[in-house]
A and B are shown apart, each in its own frame.
Chain A
Amino acid sequence: MWILLLLPFIGLLWVPFYNFLEPALFGFPFFYWYQLAWVPISSLLIWLVYRRLPPDEAA
């Protein structure tokens, strides 16, 4: 499951994936809405990993 945490790094640090104007969404060029979309996606991925964690006795 921890591998999910690497996805935001891949999706955002490999800039040639998303350095485009088209397709635009609600007036936002791709470069912008793609990166903004990674905000909720990253939260979701972290939550998925969190859900699978064993109960933490130190918590």
Chain B
Amino acid sequence: MADHIDWVPLAIFIFFFILVSVMGFFAARWKSGPVSASAHLDEWGLGGRRFGTWITWFLVGGDFYTAYTVIAVPALVYAVGAFGFFALPYTIIVYPFVFAVMPVLWKVAHANGYVTAADVVHGTYNSRGLELAVAITGMVATMPYIALQLIGMGVVIKAMGLTGELPIVAAFIILALYTYSSGLRAPALIAFVKDIMIYIVVLVAVVVVPAKLGGYGAVFAAANDAFTEKGGATGLILQPSQMLGYATLALGSALAAFMYPHTLTGIFASKSADTIRKNAILLPAYTLLLGLIALLGYMAHAANITVSSPNDVVPLLFKALFPPWFAGFAFSAIAIGALVPAAVMSIGAANLFTRNVWKSYLDPGISHAGEASVAKIASLVVKLGALAFTLFLPTQYAIDLQLLGGLWILQTFPALVFGLFTRWFRAEGLLLGWAVGIIWGSWTAWSNALKPLATIELGGASHSFYVGLGALILNVVVAAIATIVAARIAPDRCSVVEPL
């Protein structure tokens, strides 16, 4: 990578960074009602629950399709080809699921004033143990995800010739300060800028880059040549042994996606159930974008980009094919793209800590204003933790832990989703299922050198599948058996709150 500073892109980057920082601080007053952000957690942590269709579209789009995605998906596609595209079916099938389930979840949360997934679980099952399991899983899964946003930001800052940790630290402190003062309104407002910038960058790239490289046919042909030379489990289409892994990764990731605190925060902050339904129809626009972003990995082959680290594929491609000012604009879009999810993730984790640890165990009588101030401080701690993570631990740890985080968060699915539709499962069973899913999944991933896929032998053939989905199936089976056993031992459910 270049060790001199590229002043044109850097100046553009600094301009946009200052712009969004000012917006972040002013966001506190945006769409605010009579209650100030520090008076109620609904205001700080959910933006007053007043976000309509368009704000939710930008917020969830900006928060679900993260900066790290823009760096990592093309990097994977560059390295392995077709298999890296699992992100595409994943981010398509997630929306029928969102449409069917999330409005129901929103209604329960809205009617009872719930702020987090763990609130919903506690309200449904009246089980502190299950509530704590969901809350801790959410917080632990979020931390490495925030760290990855920092890493994505670091990749583009490095591409502009800035070395050292100082730029990242400075950017993150500013982010922490405006999130502290404005809460969810800051990323919601900044998401408008970030998403429009990313749309411009990608639409320009998918028209201009193939034109420079001889069309999409040439792009795919160049990628095919690279994979033929490379060999192994790469190629423009999947090898038969990869198909099950591809499908299970897509399904498992889709089921996990809206279990994360940051995506659920976007759901809970919506104005109505209808807002969420309309977003399930409109959000796939971002998926189209993601599919095109993934193709940047093939364009890098066509442009003869060679990298030492796959994460440098996108920055190097932009530097090679675009004038410095547009590369600077693209890098700014990616770096700002890291700020939105990092802010929402820290808010989501802070809401969990405040509602399901602090309030449940330390201060049950806490006031609304007290909740808001605990959450504001918790968001700072979460971000500092993620920053320390990036500064002091190898990048690979964050990637590995984020992968495990996806597996863990998927294990909260039965506790959160099943209760919306049936009261058959018992809290004890769900808690046991959660524990078995997490332990089996972590152990299996660990013993496979932290690869997302595990292999089983069936009928003489071996099948590779996504560990997280396997763990979820085990989780549900254990929860069902334990529910039956618990019902035999103690037919009367103690202290069960009726669902809506």
Contact = CB atoms under 8 A, between A and B. Distances in A.
Interface size, B (range): 35 or more
Interface residues of A, number: 36
Nearest to A16: B243
Contacts of A43: 95, 281-282, 284
B88 A35 contact: yes
B417 to A, nearest CB: 15
Given A5-B96, A8-B93, A59-B274, A29 B236 contact: yes
Nearest to A28: B216
A10 B237 CA distance: 19
Question: B-side binding surface: helix, strand, loop or mixed?
Answer: helix
B52 to A, nearest CB: 12
A9 B96 contact: yes
Interface in A30-51: 31-32, 35-36, 38-40, 42-43, 45-47, 49-50
A6 B96 contact: yes
Contacts of B324: none
B287 interface: yes
Interface stretch (B188-196, B246-254, B487-495): B246-254
Interface string B269-303: 00011100110111010011001000100000000
Nearest to B98: A46
B216 A36 contact: no
A9 B93 contact: yes
A58 B110 contact: yes
Given A19-B237, A42-B96, A46-B281, A36 B220 contact: no
Contacts of A45: 96
B92 A12 contact: yes
B236 to A, nearest CB: 6
Contact of B85 (A5, A32, A58): A32
20 contacts: A5-B96, A8-B92, A8-B93, A8-B96, A12-B93, A12-B247, A14-B247, A15-B243, A19-B237, A21-B237, A29-B236, A31-B236, A38-B92, A46-B96, A46-B281, A50-B280, A56-B103, A58-B107, A58-B273, A59-B274
Interface pairs A-B: 7 shortest CB-CB: A27-B216, A27-B217, A59-B274, A5-B96, A12-B89, A15-B243, A59-B272
Interface of A: 2, 5-6, 8-9, 12-16, 19-21, 24, 26-29, 31-32, 35-36, 38-40, 42-43, 45-47, 49-50, 53, 56, 58-59
